[in-house]
Structures are given as C-alpha cells and as structure tokens.
Chains A and B, each alone.
Chain A
Amino acid sequence: MSELAEKVNLSRRTLLKAGALAGGGMFLSATMPGIARAATGAAEPAPLNAFVSIAPDGQVTIVGKNPEIGQGIKTMLPMLIAEELDADWDKIKIVQGDSNAAKYGPQIAGGSFATPMNWFPMRQTGAAARAMLLEAAGKKLAVDPATLTTSKGVITDPATGRKLGYGEVASMAAEATVPDPAKLKLKDRKDFVIIGREIGGIDSPKIVHGEPIFGVDTQLPGMVYAAYERAPVFGSKLKSADTAAAKSVPGVIDAFTLEGKGGPDQLVDGVAVIAKNWWVANQARGKLAAQWDTGDWTSHSSAGYDAEARKLMDGPPSSDVFSKTGDVDAAFATAAKTLDEQYAYPFLAHVPMEPMNTTALMHKDGTLEIWSPTQNPQAGQMGVAQMLGLKPDQVTLHITRMGGGFGRRLTNDFMHQAAAIAAKMPGTPVQLIWSREDDVRSDFYRPAGWHRLRAALDADNKLVGFDDHFVTFELGGAYNPAAMAPDIFPAKFVPNLRYAQSKMKTAVPMGALRAPASNAIAFVTQGFLDEVAEAAGKDLPTLLLELISGREKEPDPPGGGFGGPQRGFNPDRMRGVIEKAVAMSPWGKPAPDGHAYGFGYYFSHQGYFAEVVEASISAGKSPQVHNVWVAGDVGHTIINPFGALNQVKGAVIDGLGQATALAIKIENGAVAQSNFHDYPIPRMPFAPEIHVEWVKSDNEPTGLGEPALPPAIPALTNALYKLTGNRIRSLPIDRKLLTKA
C-alpha cells in the first residue's frame, strides 16, 4: 500500500475511539440491538455496519452519507462500498443518510473533498462487511474463509462449487468479528468491476418521472407554507411591519416578526408570512410595508468599492504582505521590461435552480425535525439547536437531494429561518420557500476583488519579479472567502515575488462559490501571465513550462484535517496537463477565420487542469465559444466517468458564463439584480463542444466538482484578446472591448 494509503486508512484504533470518522459507526452498529433481532431469523435487513445492511433475501442496502447536490455523490460513494463488498450494483438499494456525525463521520458537499476523504474509508467499509460475510460463510460451510471467493453478492467455495447468497449468511455475519480496517486487503485497481464503470445517477429514474425527491418536494400532512421578508439593504435591523395587513389577506394563516440572532449566516431580522399556499404567503408580503434601520450601509455600492479599490491600488503596495520571496523592489529597479496592470472581478451569486427552502416541524415534545436541502447538514443541525436552546440530538435533520448547490447551501441561513418559524407553531409542519428574488438578493456572494499586478522581465525575457497588490474586503469568521492563499502560482516559481493586500469594509455577505478564490484568481493570474508571455515573445504554455522547469514536487503538508489528505503541489502534474492540452487541441496552429485560441491553466482542489478555448465574436458583439479542449489530472482512477465528464463540462460552461455575462452589483447598499433576466445564466445555444482527456497520473483520485472551472475563464479572455488586441482585465467581459482596437 502506498504511503498515502497508509495515511488515510482508518485504523482500528480510530474506529474504536470515536465515531466521528467515516466508518466509525460500523463497530457501534454491530453491537446494536438490531443485530439480535436479525439473528433470531426475523426477515429484516441485517446491519453489518453503519453503511451496509443485507436482508435475508439478499437485498443489499447502502447508505450514501453525503449531501447530493448534483455532483453525483449519492451514486459515487456507494460505488466505492459496493466495489469492495462485491455487491451486484444492478440490484443494490441506496438510501440517503440523515445528518449524524457520530454514525457517518463528516457529511458535507464542498471543496471537492468527498473523493479524497472517502476513497479509502468507503472502500474499507465495504471490505469489512465482505470479510464479515466470509467469516459467517466459512463457519456455515466449515471451510477457511480465506479460500472463498465472492462476486455480485454470491459467495463461492471453489473447492466444492457450493454457493451462498449474501442474504443467506447476513444475520450470522452481523455477529461476526468486526475486522481491523487497517488489515483489510483492498482490491487491486485492475480488479475493479464497479469503479471505473459508466454508472447513471441513482435517482435519475425518479427524476425523469417527476417523483418528489428534492427538498422543496417534501410534503407532510397539515403542512403550511412560509415566506420570509428580510431587509433589502445588508446590515439592516427591522423597525416595523404591518403584520395585521398581511394577516387580512384571504388565505393567510399568520404573520409575525422574528428578531435576528447571530450573524447573517444564522437568523436575520425579518417577517414570516404563513399560508396554506406559498404563493398566497408570498403575495401577502406586499402588504407588510416593512421599515428598516439601514444605518449608513445605503452609501455602499459596487461603483464605490471600485473607486476606493482603484485609489488603494494607485498607492504604494499595502504593508500587509502575505507572501514574499527575494527582493521585489530590486528586481523591478533592474528590470529590462516591466508590466503594470489592474485586474478586477465582481460579486457573483450562486443561483442553484432549486430556490432555498427547508421544511421544519417542532414536535409537541419539544424536539425539532427538519427536511433540508443543505450542503452542510451537521453545521446546520448544530446551529439550529443552539439558536433554539436545544441539544443537537433533539434536532433530527433529514438531508434531501437538492437542485444544485455551487456552495450556496454551505450556509444554512434558510434552515435557521425555517426552524425559527416552526418553533413558533409547535405541531404544525411548515415549509419555508424563498422566491428567486430572495435568492439573488440574499446570497453569500463570491467576493469582488481587485489586483494591481506588476511583472519584471530581465534582458533574457525571464520573469524575475512578480508583484500583486490585492484589494479585498475585511471579513470576520473562521473561513474567509475573500482571502488569497500565499502559495498561489506563480509564488515559489519566480525569484522575487510579493503578494500584499488592502482591505475595505462592507456588509455584503460573502461565501464560497464553486472553486472559491480560484474562480477569480485564475482569471487574474493566467490573464496577466499571458500578457507577460507576450512581452517575453512566447506563448503562455511555454512560459508556464519554463517557470516550472527543473522543479521538484513540494512536500506533502502535515496533517489532513477537514479536507482529507493534501498533497504537495507537483510540477510534473502541471506539465502533464499543459502538454496534453497542447497536444490534443489545435493550439499553435492557425485558427479558422475569425476564430482564435486562448490558453489557461490552473491547479485547485488538488486537481490540475489546462484548457484551450476556441472563440469568435458574434455579430451581436458577444463572445461565442466553439470548442474547449480540457486536459485534467485528478489521479489514476476516474471513479464514475459518466458523472466525471458531466462535472467537467458543467464547470467549464459555468466559468465561461460567469466571464461573459454575470455580475451582482450593489447599489444603495442592496443588490440591483433580482432574477434570471438580469442575472443571465448560460443557455443551450451558448454551450460549446467540450473535449475532455484525462492524464491518469499515479496519484490517488481527487474531486471534480470544481477544478475544471477556473482555467476556462482566462482561456476565453486570452482568446478574445487575440481577436481584438484588447486585453480583458475586468469581468464580466465589457462588450466595448470586443471591437478591434
């Protein structure tokens, strides 16, 4: 087993010590009373561990623990278990696990972490269940379990040809020794029969028939609906609202104010309107005439931030230096050639298709039950419990499938609202639904940002100095989505480099949008490096390969933590995707008339991606992308090629769409946009052909929800530059720059 495998393997000790790790429930469940019932012969599924149970008829049920946002995780994690269990994929049942840290370990849809965090633990979970089945079969057949083989849910004794279905030994297996996960032998990659197969989404048959599987499809007897009026201006407090007027609307059951508690990610001030039909409740909001104390936040605007940021960038680099190599000032003083440009990008919203919603029921015994489309269930469960003064185990949280996430549902503000409303109406289930306008105007936005970039070239056109003065926002909290990591490329690859930052004040809530930070920084750094390459008389891939020439792999950072095992940056993998993208695309060849190719590379979420965009400018002066060639390295195995390709292609179009048309603008302290007419998400005619090839390097697999997005943006802007001679240094792309300079 590789060094990495050793590191992320569950040890028996961790299993016994705490249920907080994936697989932790296995040992605990094996001692649960449920096993005893199964052993008495009742026709119930025997739980072999927290994730696997097998009924006497052989039906294998696997728990998918992570929230499904469309990234395919409810299919993919069970594939890992089923592979090592040797279950028959076509016959298994998959159920969504509730929020339960002790039983399932971390449950989160974020950071493209699920693959690296679960690649070993989920497989070990399946292998452990298989070992227990084999132990039971060995007893039953009076043979050494090690001589038995398994395939598709059937155990075979090769010596005699006798066969036993998993169901026939399941209840015995539930009493078998729980194996030491560290000693389990996992399959060799060449023996995979489920991993690597194109497998359709497990819920897809239900989706094409319109069955109720999303959060907002939750239906409970006696359920009522809630709309929530909140302040348009961020940072406001509620002064008054005419709840009586709203209550007088026919069909409205109740209307009441709620006082905020905690930050905007918890409960904000607002007015709930309850009705038997959500449309009625939402219409009645018009009668509330809510008055807000906006403080001085109405003076804030995107234009104001831009002016302030430009002033800051015109000044000297901030004293807040967060990355430094060599002597930047000396490098610029002696440079043969210098570049000095400003880049900027706007706030962005997530707009997943299913608007924010949560269903909550305060039971008469004081416990709370929640059905929520959340990417971050355990945090929501804890937060809601704290808000209502409940213990976490008094809150049951059912994770529903969700209509997209993109990072929006990592923040559980809507869940807090639903819970606070339900707490006011014990015994009545209530479903809070946001309008699309609520969603666009109450998001946790991708932070806007500004960068003054300078580059110094020596007489040999070598990049010897790189300086980034980053202007961002001051944000509290443990996670700062407006931060730039100190090791962003080309840090460590230019002899004299400085990253410094200046911060502005704001009340605009910010959060993680798919490929957070990278979705902006890739545009900035790869766009500017394309300018540097041109100044040096070469193309971008050549410059990038020169910068990493002769460099070794960075050591793996210690620990793993939330994100699972991290690997050090590996220039060989960067080189691999750059060379692949160049080879698979027409890069360097003449483009069709009126078309041009642009290049972009980025490393994020442990994935390496290089992309070539073929673009033209349509008569209506908008960018048209015809083809995108994508080379990606996320390790030696693509677990589910169906899902993987969908993630990559969706991410590329997502990035191209952002660059082309999307911006959230703050005016008078509030969001000016409101719905898809002024926040135009890409539609079918915009979608280019996307050609994907994998560089299967010898590394354990990592996630794919995000890393294909960032390089698409600079690849597009770099292509448009070739068509017009105008550099695009601000997003979204200014149509005026699409006419030839």
Chain B
Amino acid sequence: MATVTINGETRTLDVPDDMPLLWALRQELGMVGTKFGCGIGACGACTVHIDGVAARSCSTTVGSLAGKKVTTIEALGQSAVGKALQAAWLDVDVMQCGYCQAGQLMSASALLAKNPSPSDKDIDSAMQGNICRCACYGRIKTAIQIAAAESEKANV
C-alpha cells in the first residue's frame, strides 16, 4: 500500500511497491494520458514530473514516491508554462500520430520551468530522451520557442 501525491491529490495505491508508476497511473487510477512506449526509460512517452523534474514513469516504482509530488499531462494546463506549450503545440500543429506528445510536453515544460529561454542546443539536449516516431521534431522545437517567447512576454 503506497500513498502518492498526484496532481495535488493524495492517492492510495494497493499495488506492489515495485510496480512502475506508469502502470499505477494508467490501470489503477485510470489516468491514461501518460503513455507506455518502451518500458525501459528509452523513449520518453511516459514522462511525468516528480517534484517538478521530468522523470520516466515506466522506470519509477510506486514505492519510491513517498513524500514526492507527481504531476502528469492531465494537470499540465494548470501551470502558465504548460498552458503556453499546449497553445503553441496547437498553433503550429505539431503532431502526426500524437502518441508521444504527452511525454514531449512534459519534458518541454520541465525544461521551460528551469530555463525560460532555452537555446536550440538546450532544447535538443532536454528533448533528446523523447522519441517522436513520426519525427515532428522541427515543429516540437518551434512550439517550445513560441511558448518560451510567450511566457517571457507574460512575465515582463
């Protein structure tokens, strides 16, 4: 039995401690926005924030989360940066299949929270853990730049 704070709510999970957070989110809590891609932390589709830092939920056990705050794609729009990213994603029509985009958005929002005006290289390095099999990389980068510019304007 584990107690985890997810999107500001305290949730109790009656699962083995070594169950990855991904499967607890998707199949115990019905929060299916976080996606399964590889199960080994190699594709980034399952990215969430743990205490504000991007983490792979497929490789994070439920038992390791005591006292930590988990944020998922379902709550991304609650932050200004998250909202700006979602809007930018739609403005440039980033996605093809869209399956990896929850993970892309979570990685991008963790980046902008830490580095509000990232360079091209910063974006490459923060996003290289997220595979987009459709290869929408150009638009992902553009959308991050747009969101960064928007957030900066909002903060002036």
Q: Report A's interface with B, CB cutoff 8 A.
A: 69-72, 198, 200-201, 203-205, 207-212, 214, 216-217, 219, 225, 250-251, 276-280, 351-355, 401-406, 433, 435-437, 642-643, 646-647, 649-650, 653-654, 657, 675-677, 681-687, 689-690
Contact = CB atoms under 8 A, between A and B. Distances in A.
A70 B15 CA distance: 35
Interface in B109-156: 123-125, 127-141
Contacts of A279: 19-20, 22-23, 27
A684 B99 contact: no
Interface of B: 15-16, 19-20, 22-23, 27-28, 30-40, 42-43, 45, 72-74, 76-77, 85-86, 89-90, 93-102, 105, 123-125, 127-141
Contacts of A70: 95-99, 134
A343 to B, nearest CB: 25
28 contacts: A201-B93, A208-B101, A208-B105, A209-B33, A209-B76, A212-B32, A278-B23, A278-B27, A280-B19, A352-B99, A353-B97, A353-B133, A354-B37, A401-B98, A402-B97, A404-B133, A650-B135, A675-B39, A675-B42, A677-B42, A681-B131, A682-B137, A683-B128, A683-B131, A684-B127, A684-B137, A685-B128, A686-B137
A568 B39 CA distance: 47
Contacts of B133: 351-353, 403-404, 406, 681
Given A435-B39, A684-B140, A210 B134 contact: no
A686 B124 CA distance: 9
Contacts of B131: 353, 676, 681, 683
B76 to A, nearest CB: 7
Contact of A204 (B39, B89, B123, B125): B89
A479 to B, nearest CB: 24
A114 B144 CA distance: 32
B98 A201 contact: yes
B59 to A, nearest CB: 12
Contacts of A433: 36
B38 A436 contact: yes
Given A403-B100, A676-B42, A685 B124 contact: yes
Contact of A217 (B19, B28, B32, B136): B32
B33 A675 contact: no
Q: Identify which of A71, A642, A687 gathers the most chain B CB atoms within 10 Å of its CB.
A: A687
A3 B148 CA distance: 52
5 nearest interchain CB pairs? A210-B33, A403-B99, A70-B97, A210-B73, A70-B96
Nearest to B96: A70
Main secondary structure of the interface of B (DSSP, over half): loop
B156 to A, nearest CB: 25
A209 B31 CA distance: 12
B99 A204 contact: no
Contact of A352 (B36, B97, B101): B97
A60 to B, nearest CB: 22
B138 A649 contact: yes
B34 A210 contact: yes
Given A204-B90, A646-B134, A353 B37 contact: yes
Contacts, number: 186
A198 B27 CA distance: 37
A100 B16 CA distance: 43
A280 to B, nearest CB: 8
A217 B16 CA distance: 22
Contacts of A687: 135, 137-138
A549 B94 CA distance: 41
B106 to A, nearest CB: 9
A647 B135 contact: no
Nearest to A436: B38
A311 to B, nearest CB: 37
Contacts of B38: 436, 675-676
A654 to B, nearest CB: 6
Contacts of B138: 649, 687, 689-690
A208 B37 contact: no
A210 B130 CA distance: 16
Nearest to B121: A685
Contact of A277 (B27, B36, B132): B27
Contacts of A657: 135
A642 to B, nearest CB: 4
Contacts of B132: 353, 684
A208 B36 CA distance: 16
A198 B93 contact: yes
A650 B37 contact: no
A214 B27 CA distance: 15
A100 B97 CA distance: 23
A516 B137 CA distance: 24
Contacts of B141: 684
B36 A355 contact: yes
Contacts of B127: 683-684
A205 to B, nearest CB: 6
A649 B139 CA distance: 10
Contacts of B22: 279
A431 to B, nearest CB: 9
Contacts of B125: 685
B23 A653 contact: no
